[in-house]
Amino acid sequence: MMTRLFATLFLLLAAIPPARAAGPELAVALGGVERRFDRDALLARPDAVTVDIPADVAYGRPMRYRAVPLASLLGTDAFPPDSVLEGVASDGFTAQLPPELCLRTGPDGAVAFLAVEPAGQPWPNLPGKAVSAGPFYLVWVRPEASGVRSEQWPYQLARIVSSDDPLKRWPQLAVDAALPADSGIRAGQAVFVTQCMACHTLGGAGSATLGPDLNRPMNPTEYLTPAGLRRLIRDPRSVRTWPSQQMPGFDPAMLSDADLDRVVAYLGHMAGRKGP
């Protein structure tokens, strides 16, 4: 009797199809409300299109993707005043993304797209890495038209969240209030927030976890010459290297000489403003 019961249960269980493995999801949290987007559902959306990227930042060559306009995922009424978007990657890289830039849809400026890696058609591995930019990658059409920076192309994207403007969220990023409005140090602060905070914190300010803090316990201007620091930013491996090093070099197309000087000036200024 028991043998027959077990046999019946075995046949019933065998007839149940295996559960389908869940695909990767992107979390979008705006104004405290989180939504999740499944890879396959994104690719099946009616607004999914093919986009050609002539100068892809992550791959360093032309790429083609199936992608969804980022603006259609974000909507237009979920942003608190003075907020920014953070594109957070699975490795801790955190891109600062102005909402007005991400919501653009017109033909005259940059337009953001969420590229989605199909399950059966994986993208190539990133240069020097054993992984691709997927499953989700924020890419831009006409980035040069709106001044989109290289650190605003987060790949292996895990979530997009709205948060307070960095200077409101982390007052320790602020320069001396006595500096004139046209100070290069103030301009360096803006470049630092966009380019450097994607990987680094400064005096504990920031949400990225990929690189070291740049003001605690020491600021790089305290142990590198200005020329050495500029060279480190342009070509990190020409200054120091180790097996797990991840910092890329920033060529003049990514960071102009003027902006590089501004960042170095800002870091030097902040070495004297570490606070408690």
The domains located in the chain, with CATH, are 25-164 (3.90.420.10), 168-270 (2.60.40.420)
**Mean pLDDT, residues 215-224:** 95
Indicate if the pLDDT at residue 245 is higher than 90: no
Reply yes or no on whether the pLDDT at 19 is more than 60: no
Judge whether residue 48 has pLDDT over 60. yes
Which one, of 213, 203, 185, 209, lies nearest residue 86 by Cα? 209
Per-residue pLDDT, averaged over 40-46, amounts to 97
Instruction: Check whether 105 has a pLDDT greater than 70.
Output: yes
Pairing between β-strand 83-89 and β-strand 63-69 as defined by DSSP bridges: unpaired
Q: How confident is the model at residue 209 (pLDDT cuts 50, 70, 90)?
A: confident
pLDDT (average), residues 169-194:
94
Distance in angstroms (rounded) separating the CA atoms of residues 189 and 178: 15
Query: What pLDDT was estimated at residue 178?
Result: 95
| Res 9: pLDDT | 41
Instruction: Name the pLDDT band for 58 (thresholds 50, 70, 90).
Output: very high
pTM over 0.85: no
Which pLDDT does position 75 carry in this prediction? 82
Please give the pLDDT value at position 78. Answer: 62
* pLDDT score for 204: 93
> Are the C-beta atoms of 116 and 136 separated by less than 8 Å?
yes
Percentage with pLDDT > 90 across the chain? 73
pLDDT at 128: 86
- Split at pLDDT 50, 70, 90, the class of 265 is very high
pLDDT tens per residue, range 116-130: 999 999 999 999 889
Confidence grade of residue 210 (pLDDT, cut at 50, 70, 90): confident
Give phi and psi for 29, each to the nearest 5.
-120, 110
Tell me how far apart the alpha carbons of residues 151 and 87 are, in angstroms, rounded to a whole number: 10
Quick one: pLDDT at residue 146?
92
The answer to whether the CB of 24 falls within 8 A of the CB of 39 is yes
Sign of CA dihedral 204, 209, 213, 214: negative
Q: Report percent pLDDT > 70 for the chain.
A: 90
Phi, psi (deg, nearest 5) at residue 182: -95, 15
Q: Is the peptide bond before 217 cis (omega within 30 degrees of 0)?
A: yes
Identify the band that residue 10 occupies on the pLDDT scale cut at 50, 70 and 90: very low
Specify whether the CB–CB gap between 68 and 117 falls below 8 A: no
| Of 77-86, 88-97, 144-153, 260-269, minimum mean pLDDT range | 77-86
Which helix (H) or strand (E) segment holds residue 234: the answer is helix 226-234
Sorting pLDDT into bands at 50, 70 and 90, what band is 18?
very low
Residue 108's pLDDT is what?
A: 85
137-152 average pLDDT score: 94
Mean pLDDT across the stretch 102-117?
Answer: 93
Tokens representing 264 are 């170095």
